[in-house]
Amino acid sequence: MSCRPDLLPALFLDRDGVLVEEHGYLTHWAQFTIFQNTINALLRLEPFSCWRIVVTNQSAVARGLLAPAELEALHRRLLEYFAAHGVTLHRVFACPHLPCPDLPGGRVEYLRPCRCRKPEPGLIEQAFEVFPIDRSRSFLVGDAERDVEAGQRAGLTTIRLCPPGKPVPQTRAQHLVPDLGTAVDIFLNSIASKPSRVPRNHR
Is 197 within the bounds of a domain?
Answer: no
Range of the domain at 132: 10-190
The domain that holds 40 is classified in CATH as 3.40.50.1000
Please report the pLDDT score of residue 2 as a whole number.
Answer: 53
Q: The dihedral of CA 190, 154, 143, 170: what is its sign?
A: negative
**How far is it, in rounded angstroms, from Cα 37 to Cα 179?**
9
> Tell me: the pLDDT tens digits for 48-100?
999 999 999 999 999 999 999 999 999 999 999 999 999 999 999 999 999 99
* Helices 122-130/145-153 angle, 10° precision: 50
Cβ neighbours around 178 below 10 Å, total = 13
Number of structural domains found in the chain: 1
Residue 44 lies in a domain: yes
- Nearest CA among 32, 6, 3, 7 for reference residue 19: 32
Q: Is residue 5 part of a domain?
A: no
CB 105 within 8 A of CB 69: no
Please check the confidence at residue 122 and state whether its pLDDT lies above 90. Answer: yes
CB-based burial label for 24 (10 Å; 0-12, 13-18, 19+): exposed
> Is residue 200, in this structure, part of any structural domain at all?
no
Asked whether residue 199 is assigned to any structural domain, the reply reads: no
Task: For residue 12, list its beta bridge partners.
Answer: 53, 140
pTM (2 d.p.): 0.92
pLDDT tens by residue, 128-170: 999 999 999 999 999 999 999 999 999 999 999 999 999 999 9
- The catalytic residues are 14, 16
SS3 category, 80: helix
Give CA 143 to chain center in angstroms: 10
Contact assessment for residue 111 and residue 127, using Cβ atoms and an 8 Å cutoff: no
Q: Is residue 4 part of a domain?
A: no
Residue 48 domain flag: yes
Instruction: Examine residue 2 and state whether it is found in any structural domain, yes or no.
Output: no
What pLDDT score was predicted for residue 196?
A: 46
